[in-house]
Amino acid sequence: MTKVGIIVGSLRKDSFSKQVAKNVTPLFPEGYETEFIEIGHLPLFNQDYEGDLGTPEVYTDFRNKIKGLDAVLFVTPEYNRSIPAVLKNALDVASRPYGESVWNGKPAAIISVSPGALAGFGANHHLRQVLSFLNMPVVQQPEAYIGSVHELLDESGKLNADTVQFLQSLVDALVDLINRHKA
């Protein structure tokens, strides 16, 4: 079984990003399982955790969870033209201690989500910059910018057929990247 972690950059209960992510999980083929990875409980990273304070247990659990994944799908809103702090914190936590980053080499894909027309372009590309440094091969095409998201979801949180079809092409590209990475 190939395991794909889904990391949502919003903690909001009715998050559009979370709703989009829920529409994506059924698009993975047989032999794949998806798991939503929680990040909201992680204390803000403090380098003293690597010294006097010691490692929080939740950091160890989180790092082990990421270690066990074959790939990661990030679905994130944009905050002030960048990624939400909660997502950056999670990326930082699992990148440490130095030289032991559990992100290293894991294939990834990015979906940015916004009710606005610019579709989270800034967040999408700031995230790409971080994942590049973390040595994660990222799906380059298609680029997934989901703008005006509130118009694409119905009341039950289902995305329209065209958007699902587009997101299927992203999932196919991620599966292809994972397979190439394994080969």
Q: Where on the chain is the footprint of ligand FNR (CB under 6 A)?
A: 10, 12, 15-17, 77-81, 113-116, 118, 120
Residue 157, sorted as left (phi over 0), alpha (psi -120 to 50) or beta, turns out to be left
Q: How far is the CB of 84 from ligand FNR (least distance, A)?
A: 8
Rounded to the nearest 5 degrees, what angle is found at the Cα of 103, between the Cα atoms of 40 and 93? Answer: 40
Pick the closer one to ligand FNR by CB: 37 or 118: 118
Report, in Å, the least distance between residue 15 CB and ligand FNR: 3
> Alpha carbon of 115 to those of 3, 85, 150, 151: distances in Å?
30, 19, 6, 8
Q: Which residue is nearest to ligand FNR (CB)?
A: 77
Nearer to ligand FNR by C-beta: 34 or 114?
114
Q: Hey, what's the torsion of the CAs at 3, 82, 125, 115, to 10 degrees? A: 80
Q: Which is nearer to ligand FNR, 23 or 114 (CB)?
A: 114
